[in-house]
Amino acid sequence: MQQLLGLPDSTPNPHLWYKPTTMPAVANAIAADLAAIQPAHAAYFKANAAAFIASLTAWNQAVAKFKTAYPGTPVATTEPVADYMLQAAGADNMTPWAFQADIMNGTDPSPQDVTIERSLFTQHKVKVFLYNQQVTDSLTESMISLAHASGIPVVGVYETMPAPGYDYQSWMLAEVNALDKAVTDKVSTEHL
């Protein structure tokens, strides 16, 4: 996927499905590949790719709306699961990259990075805390507790589809809506 998006194989954040430009590129590439295999059905493949891309409109609009309403919103994260969406939404992730990478890779972050992360909550430097709801440990749980104690809304994000009843489009839209609700109404959404 990195090659399709023009990214190096060593891209440090593999959660590319959170990047709003990823799935349109993938859909168009699949349509082109299928058309090469079955040229007689090229229009059908292209139409289906266009329909899929159009189905992402609500998500893209929600991301753009957030970016316009809350530019530069400071956020904290445990790992880079939703970083691409946060970037597209104009949020400012205050969590050190080394902290995110360590959590994502299952290693202990440095004491300095843990201190920085904790200060984001205790000093009220962020408006929302996003964590990988599907992978938690004692450090993540302590950060969730600290965010709650500091009055920072908490949003659970997902590496894989969260539950039956979701498709890609509704999943991504739910994530942006949870972010918006956290910033607008100071409401946590830890589970979709």
Distance of alpha carbon 51 from its chain centroid, rounded? Answer: 23
- Write down the number of H helices and E strands in the chain: 8, 4
Listed residue (50, 22, 57, 14) closest to 35, CA to CA: 50
The CATH number of 71-185, from 3.40.50.1820, 3.40.50.1980, 3.40.50.300, 3.30.530.20, is: 3.40.50.1980
> Which pLDDT does position 164 carry in this prediction?
85
Residue bearing the bigger pLDDT, 166 or 14: 166
> Which pLDDT does position 9 carry in this prediction?
63
Using CB atoms within 10 Å of the CB of residue 104, give its burial: 0 to 12 exposed, 13 to 18 middle, 19+ buried: buried
3-state helix, strand, coil in the chain (%, to 5): 55, 10, 40
Mean pLDDT within 60-74:
98
Mean pLDDT within 152-173:
93
pLDDT at 133 over 80: yes
Give residue 163's pLDDT band: very low, low, confident or very high (50, 70, 90). confident
Rounded to two decimals, the pTM is: 0.91
Lowest mean pLDDT among 8-22, 35-49, 163-177: 8-22
Question: What rounded mean pLDDT belongs to the chain?
Answer: 93
Distance CA 66, CA 98 (A): 27
pLDDT cut 70: percent of the chain above it: 93
pLDDT tens track for 13-42: 678 889 999 999 999 999 999 999 999 999
Residue bearing the bigger pLDDT, 13 or 144: 144
> Which pLDDT does position 53 carry in this prediction?
97
Residues 132 and 141 sit within 8 Å (Cβ to Cβ): no
Mean pLDDT within 64-93:
97
Give residue 120's pLDDT band: very low, low, confident or very high (50, 70, 90). very high
